Amino acid sequence: MYNPFKPGWREGGSNTASGERYDPSGWAAAIKTSLRRKFGGVEFGARPKYALVEAAGKKVIVKINDVGPLTPGRIIDLNERTMSYFDPSLQLGVINDVKVSPLAGDYWIPGPIS
C-alpha cells in the first residue's frame, strides 16, 4: 500500500505517472516499472489501464495510473481504499499470494467484483 500524503511514506508522489493526482479514495494502483509495457504503457496523458487484482478470495478492478521502482518483492502497490478492501484494518500493508491480470480495453469500472 502507498499514500504519498501520509508522513513517512517514501514511495510515490502526489502526481501519478498518468498525470493524475494521487487519490486515496479511488480504486487505483501502481505497478512495478518493468511491467509498464505488459499493462499497455502507463504514460502521462494516456488512457487509463486496468487490472484485476485477486487475493484472499476477493477480486477488485483497479485503475493502473502509476508506475515505480516498488519495494523489492512487490509487483503492485495498492492505494489506501483498495488495500482496505483486502485488509480493512490496514495493519498488514501487504497481501500475500496476490494475482494481478491486465485487462484489455479502456472502459472498465474500478471497484470490487462479487
Q: What confidence tens digit (pLDDT) does each residue in 39-97 have?
A: 777 777 677 889 999 998 999 999 998 887 777 887 888 888 998 999 887 776 678 88
Q: Over the Cα atoms of the chain, what is R_g?
A: 13
**Is 103:51 a contact under the CB 8 Å cutoff?**
yes
Poorest-confidence range of 2-11, 22-31, 50-59? 2-11
Give whole-number Cα distances, 57 to 42, 96, 102, in Å. Answer: 27, 12, 18
Q: Determine the 3-state secondary structure of 85 from DSSP.
A: helix
1-104, which class in CATH? mainly beta
